[in-house]
Structure 1
Amino acid sequence: MPTKPVPVLTIDGPSGSGKGTISQLVADQLGWHLLDSGALYRAVGYAAGAAGLDLSDEEAMARCAQTTKIRFSVPGDGGETRVIVNGHDATDELRTETAGAAASAIAAFPGVRSALFDKQKGFRKAPGLVADGRDMGTVIFPDAGHKVFLTASAEERARRRYKQLKDKGLNVTLAALLREIQARDERDASRTVAPLRPAVDALTIDTTGIPVAGVVAAVLSVVRPA
């Protein structure tokens, strides 16, 4: 008798759409594993920066993606998952706008995406996986049984990011964040490899003005229909 594939819920969307928060909460409620694919790209960008590599050198970035050791450490007390890059806890560094910009830049390189492809597929383990990213439903897990695409207006996403960074004590401006988000949207949507777009069979949810609990409920309804 053939083995049933491990179920996967993909949650894709642009920066600031809330997919990180929603994915974590949904994974917790389902008791499934979580893949934060963006953290993998940020980790490679961080490792490249730490090694003094040129982020525009596709060959060097592909090699870096192949050799960088990335591990997610989940505390036993239910605390925040830590991202260990080449033996260093880089969780805080990976949250910065610099890390996000580096991730977006190197994600356009086919060699980098190819190097991380198998690493991402390896997260598919029982009882199930919530995969958070930009091409989870279109490229990495096209056979996923449940797919969601989260979106929100650029202004709303900039406000969320502004509050998040201000709460951490960082000096940022709303106007600058809005420009960065719009530039990243353009870059992610127009790249030739795995452009940011909803899978044809994904449910698109506009999270603008919707409380987190409401978005979580809408996503869970995809996995657990009423």
Structure 2
Amino acid sequence: MPNPLTIAIDGPAGAGKGTLARRLADYYHLPHLDTGLTYRAVAHMLLTKGWPLGDEPHAIEAARLVELSGLDKRILSAHAVGEAASRVAVIPEVRRILVDKQRAFATQSSGAVLDGRDIGTVVCPDAAVKLYVTASAEVRAGRRLAEIEENGGSADFAAILADIQRRDERDMGRADSPLKPAADAHLLDTSQMDIEAAFLAAKAIVDDVLAKRDEA
């Protein structure tokens, strides 16, 4: 690919942006970063070391120590880590440190695919392609419940829905880098789509941008 291709994907929890980001990264042979894992890594370090979650100096130190190449999704996907991550993510200095690391990842010569909450608006505002992937809270809760049950667990739909709604409110209402579509983002509502349909819709958007870039 003659020019770096940076794809920024934002959206709320459970909309499918992570799966979509991995599919696009594989298809276009690009490195992928789930930026949410960087905040989870900070939270995991705090929990592991027994440092207080609300202690800013320790959270800032953890953010400086986190290496993007060592993120283990299996460990970092734990619910307790996610809850802790939402608390450290509101600390401005933690966000600044991690955004700098995320931007460095995005500057690779090939380009990159990054997904998260503020990629198109803050981390990569000049990305060639910006997608905002969303779905109704009820659909996202249903997907989460199905995932839990497929892995042999059990959960309550109403509790999952309430948790998703709390996360949405927290992500969209925070003062620093709230979750919102970039002004030039392509909106992709996956409420009525499976992953294959979502991938094809996203691929069509990327291919259109690449075609126009080649014509310029």
Q: Do both share a fold (TM > 0.5)?
A: yes
Sort the Cα spacing of 1:36 and 1:57 in 2 relative to 1 into closer, same or farther, 3 A: same
Aligned with residue 22 of structure 2, among 24, 34, 43: 24
- Separation (CA, whole Å) in 1 of partners of 2:194 and 2:11: 17
Residues 12 and 150 in structure 1, CA contact (< 8 A), matched pair in contact too: yes
- For 2:153, the equivalent position in structure 1 comes to 170
1:196 corresponds in structure 2 to: 179
Following TM superposition, the consecutive aligned residue runs of length 4 or more in structure 1 with deviations greater than 3 angstroms are none
Give the distance between the partners of 2:69 and 2:110, measured in 1 at CA. Answer: 20
Per-residue deviation, 1:40: 0.8
Cα contact 1:11–1:148 (8 A) shared by 2: yes
Q: How do residues 1-226 of structure 1 correspond to structure 2 at under 5 angstroms?
A: 6-72=4-70, 83=71, 90-124=72-106, 125-225=108-208
- Counterpart amino acid of residue 84 in structure 2: A
1:51 is matched by which residue type in structure 2? Answer: K
Q: CA offset at residue 47 of structure 1?
A: 0.8
Q: Could you tell me how far 1:128 is from its partner in structure 2?
A: 2.1
Q: TM-score, normalised by structure 2?
A: 0.90
Task: Give the Cα separation in 2 of the matches to 1:223 and 1:9.
Answer: 8
Unaligned runs of 5+ in 1: 73-82, 84-89
Q: CA deviation at 1:101?
A: 1.4
Q: Normalising to structure 1: TM-score of the pair?
A: 0.87
- Cα deviation for residue 5 of structure 1 reads 6.3
Amino acid in structure 1 at the alignment position of 2:14: G
- Residue identity (%): 40
Q: How many residues align?
A: 207
Corresponding letter in the other structure for 1:214: A
Residue 59 of structure 1 and its aligned partner are, at CA, apart by 2.6
- 2:60 and 2:28 mapped to 1: Cα distance? 34
Matched AA of 1:211:
D
Q: Which amino acid is 1:50 matched to?
A: T
Quote the offset at 1:23 in angstroms: 0.4
- Computed over aligned residues only, the root mean square deviation of the Cα atoms, in angstroms, reads 1.6
Query: What SS does the corresponding residue of 2:105 show, helix, strand or coil?
Result: coil
Deviations 1:1-23 (A, max 9, x none): xxx86221101000001001010
Deviation at 1:114, TM superposition (A): 1.0
Q: Please say if residues 32 and 126 of structure 1, whose CA atoms lie closer than 8 Å, have aligned partners that are also in contact.
A: no
Instruction: Answer whether contact 1:148 1:205 (CA < 8 A) is retained.
Output: yes
- Per the TM alignment, residue 58 of structure 1 is displaced from its structure 2 partner at its CA by 2.2
In 2, Cα distance between equivalents of 1:61 and 1:44: 7
Q: Determine if contact 2:3/2:110 at 8 Å carries over to the other structure.
A: no
Which protein has the bigger helix share?
Answer: 2
Which residue type is aligned with residue 15 of structure 1?
Answer: A
Question: Is the 1:59–1:111 contact (alpha carbons within 8 Å) kept by the matching residues of 2?
Answer: no
> How far has the Cα of 1:117 moved from its partner?
1.7
